[in-house]
Chains A and B, each alone.
Chain A
Amino acid sequence: DTGVSQNPRHKITKRGQNVTFRCDPISEHNRLYWYRQTLGQGPEFLTYFQNEAQLEKSRLLSDRFSAERPKGSFSTLEIQRTEQGDSAMYLCASSLGSGSSYNEQFFGPGTRLTVL
């Protein structure tokens, strides 16, 4: 399988705990994105990396959220001191960066987070 993979697929945690999600992009893709999707809504952009550099962060990404892509391959998204409002599907996507204006993004299956 050469698509985007995410682990875990499901995570249930108690309020106040920290959680970390992992995303492995398509191997030749140098751009990696994180989105969050709540029930009944479309995905909302959180942040993106080109190689190991984090180039844009949404205002949705509070101080409790941190994302890394240390070697320009896989990425992790950590949420500290989780709140019930963090419950959502966290989606990772990757794209092949190029000079074109429409780098198509391919999504992973997502990590469903439930904060009790």
Chain B
Amino acid sequence: DGGITQSPKYLFRKEGQNVTLSCEQNLNHDAMYWYRQDPGQGLRLIYYSQIVNDFQKGDIAEGYSVSREKKESFPLTVTSAQKNPTAFYLCASSIPRELHNEQFFGPGTRLTVL
């Protein structure tokens, strides 16, 4: 089945540690995205990538880093510079400039900083 997978589903980290969230897609989509969602809020864009080896900052990129070495993979690293990292993280992919510009989302990773 085609889709987007994120791992792990739940992640705990100690304050001051870096942590990497995985996102893999087998939809053959060029574009991938990372969002953060806080309780009762909408999604906010962290980073996005429209093609391999290229990515752009979203609205809240500070304290995060990404890489896009393969079309299928877009890992997100939450660094110790992110002051309030506890949140629900969602990865998505899409076909750029496709008719509906529909983004397909993964199941999410819930990160808790202890």
- Whether A associates with B in a native complex is no
